[in-house]
């Protein structure tokens, strides 16, 4: 299933994408699409619904983040071999873990907003993992059993705030609009191998990132197991799994997003994001 939320910011309704690419309204079946609805029981209930019995949503409504009630956004840094080489950094021995504030969340096509005074706003296409059942100290072999599905993500980053302002990376990762998710949450039954997905990002039509999840240093299963070794992952938590080479910081000279730029973000099979960049 491809599950989504549509409507004005703060007024989103649950929906799904049918096999013909039409949005169907799920609000008569569930109140919203949140942690309870992506539990194994919740997904089983939704899978039993015939999309043809649901109202068709006309037009092209705004899409919001495909999941409500996200408790935590965990992210993995430096998780692609070619990105590590691009950054001139050693391959890490274990996943580098940081967080993004949930207040950064936005819809897949919402604007990327450059914070006041920021000069180094960068792009990062990433595979997002959505947790469906609580996971604490799970083994890698069982880790994917706790995953509800996957989504396209752009880990927008202000590099000066991230690197030069001291403290945690969260400072450069969490401005409003820095967490576009979606367009939809694709349940894991439609993603047989998360290590076999192309990931791409273009700025103004020019491909900047063209990677593949097979280049990850740490697999999705390893990441879920690793994070769960230190904290309890909860239903609705999102993990961003790192970005391939091609970020603006890695260009020579570095190139960063400017007002008016158009960003296109895609993970194979998980949908495309299209964002316009503007000042705050």
* Segments making up each domain of the chain, as ranges: 2-53, 73-279
Distance linking the first and last C-alpha atoms of the chain: 36
Give the mean pLDDT of 113-142.
98
| CA angle at 111 for the pair 106 and 112, rounded to the nearest 5° | 85
Residue 43 and residue 209 in contact, taking contact as beta carbons nearer than 8 Å = no
61, two tokens: 């409504």
Q: Model pTM? A: 0.97
44, two tokens: 């089983």
Give the mean pLDDT of 114-127.
97
DSSP track, 256-267: ---TT-EEEEEE
Residue with tokens 């993995």: 76
Give the confidence band of 167 by pLDDT, cuts at 50, 70, 90.
confident
Mean pLDDT of the chain: 96
Statement: residue 87 has pLDDT above 80 = no
Instruction: Summarize pLDDT for 233-263 with one digit per residue, the tens.
Output: 999 999 999 999 999 999 999 999 999 999 9
Nearest to 172 by CA among 97, 238, 122: 122
* CA dist 119 → 105, 157, 161, 162, 254 (Å): 21, 11, 10, 12, 11
- Cross-sheet strand order for the sheet of 112-114: 112-114, 271-279, 262-267, 198-203, 206-212
- The structural architecture, per CATH, of the domain 73-279 is Alpha-Beta Complex (3.90)
Pick the range with the lowest mean pLDDT from 13-27, 30-44, 153-167, 214-228. Answer: 153-167
Rg (CA), the chain: 18
Give the mean pLDDT of 101-118.
98
């Amino acid at each position: 299933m491809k599950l989504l939320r549509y409507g004005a910011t703060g007024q989103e309704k649950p929906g799904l994408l049918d096999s013909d690419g039409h949005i169907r309204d799920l609000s008569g079946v569930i109140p919203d699409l949140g942690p309870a609805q992506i539990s194994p029981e919740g997904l089983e209930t939704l899978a039993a619904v015939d999309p043809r019995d649901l109202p068709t949503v006309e037009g092209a409504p705004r899409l919001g983040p495909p999941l409500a009630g996200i408790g935590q956004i965990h992210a993995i840094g430096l998780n692609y071999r070619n990105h590590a080489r691009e950054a001139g950094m050693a391959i890490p021995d274990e996943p580098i873990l940081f967080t993004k504030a949930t207040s950064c969340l936005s819809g897949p096509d919402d604007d990327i907003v450059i914070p006041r005074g920021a000069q180094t706003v960068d792009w990062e296409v990433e595979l997002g993992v959505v947790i469906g059942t609580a996971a604490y100290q799970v083994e890698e072999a069982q880790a994917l059993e706790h995953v509800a599905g996957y989504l396209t993500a752009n880990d927008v980053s202000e590099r000066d705030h991230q690197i030069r302002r001291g403290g945690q990376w969260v400072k450069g990762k969490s401005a409003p609009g820095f967490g576009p998710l979606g367009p939809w949450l694709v349940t894991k039954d439609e993603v047989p191998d998360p290590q076999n997905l192309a990931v791409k990002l273009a700025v103004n039509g020019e491909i900047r990132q063209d990677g593949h999840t097979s280049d990850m240093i740490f697999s999705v299963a390893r990441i879920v197991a690793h994070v769960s070794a230190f904290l309890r992952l909860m239903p609705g938590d999102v993990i961003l799994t790192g970005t391939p080479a091609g970020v603006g910081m890695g260009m020579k000279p570095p190139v960063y997003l400017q007002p008016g730029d158009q960003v296109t973000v895609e993970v194979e099979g998980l949908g495309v994001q299209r964002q316009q960049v503007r000042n705050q």
